[in-house]
Amino acid sequence: MTSAAEHLYDLLDDLASRTGGPRELRTCGGRLPWPRRGVYFFFEPGEARSDGRLRVVRVGTHALRLGSGSTLWGRLSQHRGNLGGTNPGGGSHRGSIFRLHVGEALLARDGDPDGIAASWGRGTKATPDIRSRETAHERRVSAHIGAMPFLWVAIDDDPGPGSDRGLIERSTIAILSTSPTDQPSPTWLGQWANRPVIRSSGLWNVNHIGERPDLTALDRLEYWISKA
C-alpha cells in the first residue's frame, strides 16, 4: 500500500509536470502569472528522500484568517527579499518566519562575529541602525532561500478555518514530519535551527509538526492539481 508521504510526492511530481517544474525565488518577480491564492512547497538542494527525489522542507500558505487580503506572491516575495532597489538582496525577517528560522540557523552554524543574534528576531520593528547592521545577514538569508526550488498550486478559495489551503498545509506538514523516508541529512542547515521541532522534523515549519493528518487533504490537493 502506498504511504501518505509517497502519495504526496507522486502528486507533487504531477504538479511539476503540469507547471514546467520547480522555480527558484531568485528568478521570480511579481509580473509572473501568479494565482491570487495557493499553497507552496519548498525543496532544498542536497536534501533527498530515500528514493532520491528532493525532499520538501517547507510547506506554506497565506490568507487563512477571515478578511485577509494577502496574496500568494505577496507572501513569497516576503520570503524572497529584495532583488533590486536601494537594498538589493536584502529583506526583512520580521515579515517572514521562514527568513527568521533560516537566519537563526546560519548564525548558529557559521558564527556571529557582528553580534547579529542580539537583535535577530527581536520585536516586529527595528530602528534604522539595527536594520543597517542586519543587512549583510539578510542578504545571506535571501541567497539561501532564493536558491531553493519550489512548487505552488493555485487554490483560490476564501479565507477561513474551512479552507482547502489550510487543510492541505497542516495535513501535508503532519505527513512529512512523521515520514521515516523524509529524514534530514546531517548537514542540512536546519540542524542548526533554534527550534527543536525544526531539527527533529526536517521542516522549516513549527506548527502542525507531528499532528495526525487528515488524509482527505490529499484528495483535495489532487483536485486542485488537476486544474493546473
Output the 3-class SS for 72-138. Answer: HHHHHHHHHCCCCCCCCCCCCHHHCHHHHHHHHHHHHHHCCCCCHHHCCCCCCCCCHHHHHHHHHHH
The pLDDT of 177-203, averaged and rounded, is 96
Question: Residue 1: which residues within 8 A CB-CB, separation 6 or more?
Answer: none
Q: What is the pTM of this model?
A: 0.96
> H or E segment at 139?
helix 128-146
Torsion of Cα atoms, 199 then 201 then 207 then 211, to 10°: -150
What is the predicted pLDDT for the residue at 89?
A: 82
Q: How far apart are alpha carbons 71 and 89 in whole angstroms?
A: 22
What is the predicted pLDDT for the residue at 146?
A: 97
Burial of 117 (0-12, 13-18, 19+ CB in 10 A): middle
Least confident of 12-16, 132-136, 143-147: 132-136
Q: Examine the pLDDT at 88 and tell me if it is beyond 90.
A: no
Separation in Å, CA 142 to CA 99, 102, 136, 151? 8, 9, 10, 18
DSSP result, 20-67:
TS-EEGGG--TTS---SSEEEEEEEEEEE-TTSSEEEEEEE----STT
Separation in Å, CA 217 to CA 20, 122, 176, 188, 202? 23, 35, 13, 28, 21
What pLDDT digit, counting tens, does each position of 27-77 carry?
A: 999 999 999 999 999 999 999 998 999 999 999 999 999 989 999 999 999
What is the predicted pLDDT for the residue at 90?
A: 86
**Are 150 and 24 a contacting pair, CB within 8 Å?**
yes
| The three cell numbers locating residue 44 | 532544498
What pLDDT digit, counting tens, does each position of 149-188 carry?
A: 999 999 999 998 899 999 999 999 999 999 988 999 999 9
What is the predicted pLDDT for the residue at 1?
A: 61
Q: How far apart are alpha carbons 158 and 66 in whole angstroms?
A: 8
What is the predicted pLDDT for the residue at 189?
A: 98
What is the predicted pLDDT for the residue at 221?
A: 98
What pLDDT digit, counting tens, does each position of 89-142 carry?
A: 889 999 999 999 999 999 999 999 999 999 999 988 899 999 999 999 999 999
| The three cell numbers locating residue 46 | 542536497
